[in-house]
Structure 1
Amino acid sequence: MRNKNRRFILRLSLLLIMMFAIAYTLYQHFFTEKIRVQAGDQAPDFVLEDMEGNKVQLSDLKGRGVFLNFWGTWCKPCEQEMPYMESQYKQYKDLGVEILAVNIAESDIAIESFVKRHGLTFPVLKDKDRAVTEAYDIIPIPTSFLIDKNGTIQKVITGTMTEKDVANYMELIKP
């Protein structure tokens, strides 16, 4: 009888702990507000390394429009839009618009291979520890932020862009 009571109390305790954990998870998911980086916000500053090992700081680009793109080599939509970004970069880089393509936590070899295969000339940055990805709350990729000359986010784009889209976005942030 005594063992039966102990088992019952143990099982009841475990059940209550599990119910509390589920309730807490649901509460966090549905009733707490995540702070997302969105249009109208100041772009969070960051420093990342480019493929040559140079440090690139977002705030150093004040006065220029910045097309900030988060991507991965395995992402087909990312791969599809890269040639469009390259084409428009060539047209807009001398007009005060910079592209920063932030790769999310991949190896240098994978990134270098991708960059060479697509002939990319704009700065490709490495977010090895995902700190910038988390600061910008990136969930789907590709995701791009259009940042004006004052460092204010004008638009957030998720999903694949056409070349015409990229051109229109570059025009939007041209100083």
Structure 2
Amino acid sequence: MKEKTLEKKKKRLVFRSVMLAAMVGLIAFAIISNLNDDKSVVAKGEEAPDFELKKFGSDETIALSDLRGKGVMINFWATYCEPCKDEMPYMEEVYPKYKEKGVEILAINLDTSDLVVQRFLDKYGLSFPILHDKNGQVMDQYNVGQIPSTLFINPDGEVENHVVGPLTLEKLEGYLNEITPEA
């Protein structure tokens, strides 16, 4: 009888040790994840990190550093994002006017399928550059979580504003005016 009780105690001790180790592991994982999540998107006033991505459907690449001296709007989006679809026509509407004023709109797509993106572009007839961040490296570099997510960068390469969520035409024009280079 004593052996069975001793065996039960050993099993309980092993079980409790395993559970304790698992809980410590989960707590460590939560702390590390939380520290990584605390890194916010590039903050207002900071220099926007440089990147270089291929323009969708061509071999041409665009680097953010090549646009120094212009205002730049960077919009992170995907075809499966309904609010992204809603704001694309507004971006298309204002693009010609602001391009003339020295502002560039870069729409960074996060889809993995070229076919899905091409269908989207055919449907919406977008004229501003669509860059493909297939592996999510630029999204990670800017620590973007939710989409649509848009950064407005002034001609000096500094982040003026960051907007999470869809933009209305009125808000879009307001932010673009803030990053328009002075004539």
Whether these two folds match at TM > 0.5 is yes
Gaps of 5+ in 1: none
Aligned to 1:114: 120
Aligned to 1:20: 24
Q: For residues 4-153 of structure 1, what are the structure 2 equivalents within 5 Å? A: 4-28=8-32, 34-36=38-40, 37-51=42-56, 52-153=58-159
Residues 19-75 of structure 1 show CA distances to partners (whole Å, capped at 9, x for unaligned) of 212322343455677222111111011111111121111111000000000001011
Aligned length: 175
Aligned equivalents of 2:154, 2:36: Cα separation in 1 = 30
Which residue identity lines up with residue 76 of structure 2 in the other structure? F
- Contact 2:153/2:179 (8 A) holds in 1: yes
Shift of the 31–150 alpha-carbon distance from structure 1 to 2, 3 Å rule, reads closer
Overall identity of the aligned pairs, in %: 35
Aligned to 1:156: 162
- Contact 2:111/2:117 (8 A) holds in 1: no
Question: What root-mean-square deviation, in Å, do the aligned CA atoms of Structure 1 and Structure 2 show?
Answer: 1.7
Which residue identity lines up with residue 110 of structure 1 in the other structure? V
Farther-moved stretch of structure 1 (42-51 vs 12-21): 12-21
SS at match of 1:79: helix
Aligned equivalents of 1:55, 1:118: Cα separation in 2 = 22
SS at match of 1:101: strand
Aligned equivalents of 1:61, 1:119: Cα separation in 2 = 24
Aligned equivalents of 1:32, 1:101: Cα separation in 2 = 25
Gaps of 5+ in 2: none
Aligned equivalents of 1:31, 1:93: Cα separation in 2 = 39
The TM-score, its normalising length taken from structure 2, stands at: 0.89
